[in-house]
Amino acid sequence: MIYVYRILILIGLFLVGYIFGSIPNGIIIGKIFYKKDPRNYGSHNTGGTNVGRSFSKVAGAATIVLDALKLMIPYLAAYYLFKYYEPICTLMDSTYNSNELVYSWYGFGNSLIQLAIALVPFGAIIGHSSSIFLKFKGGKIVACFVGYMLLSTYLAVPIFIVLFFIVLFKTKYVSLSSIIMASSFMIFSWIVYIVFISTSSQEIASYLMWFNLTPSISIFFPILSSFGALLLIYRHKENIKRLKNGTESKVKWVDQINQK
């Protein structure tokens, strides 16, 4: 019977992430504040870039923030559930010992607890891409992926967000900037995990992440990062075609800033 409970918990956490990820913030903002649906304008996408182009920069920024939060909030909730609620830890793993450091105990990789936590952002990414509220259509998961990066490592801002804006200011292509950012983070995640397993040091890996303030290193970190990055690239397949053809739209506000 305990295995049934474990399976139900895993499914439940995935569904929580999926429902949160499915929330179409761009459409909600468009209909409440502008009485319009962003799917009828621009690229017909529900993400922050199209909302910003179609309605206003404030609406676009709000969509991006909310799309990041819809992954971050349930992800953190699941993490702290396992951190502070011992009964669910012992249910998921009979070898759990509350006297041990939880992060050292399951940080080496591949326990059900780590899988359970990882299923939440996994569900959120899928929900954003294939929302149950939008007949299984959705956005290109850039904001969701950024939310995942922010919770994974403090280096997300000084390295990967900065990289995004460097590419953006050089090329003026949001799509290309997003693809390079996500691909770089995917590579980073595997480097961190390889360093972790090669040194068997939770401390070294932790310094590259969030100093034990968020889920520690496991195999699910690079796997989820790779899944998110590859899905993001796939969702940009039409943008990639336009980039090759030289017909991809450029962001206008970059030129405005450069002119000042």
Q: What is the pLDDT of residues 167-201, one digit of tens each?
A: 999 999 999 999 999 999 999 999 888 887 777 66
Residue among 176, 186, 193 at smallest CA distance from 254? 176
> What pLDDT does residue 85 have?
85
* Domain locations along the chain: 2-259
Task: Give the count of beta carbons closer than 10 Å to the beta carbon of residue 228.
Answer: 27
Contact 141, 232 (CB under 8 A): yes
> What pLDDT does residue 132 have?
96
> What pLDDT does residue 126 have?
97
Rounded to a whole number of angstroms, the distance between the first and last alpha carbons of the chain is 66
CA–CA separation, 18 and 127 (whole Å): 4
Handedness of CA 185, 160, 149, 244 (dihedral sign): negative
CB contact set of 155 (below 8 Å; sequence gap of 6+) = 188, 208
> What pLDDT does residue 203 have?
67
140 three-state secondary structure: coil
The two tokens of residue 112 are: 């059900």
Residue among 118, 85, 113, 86 at smallest CA distance from 17? 118
Whole-Å CA distances, 192 to 68, 125, 132, 185, 207: 23, 22, 34, 10, 10
| Continuous segment of H or E residues that includes residue 5 | helix 2-22
Residue among 233, 246, 236, 234 at smallest CA distance from 171? 246
CA–CA separation, 34 and 38 (whole Å): 10
> What pLDDT does residue 196 have?
75
Low-confidence ranges of the chain (pLDDT < 50): 99-107
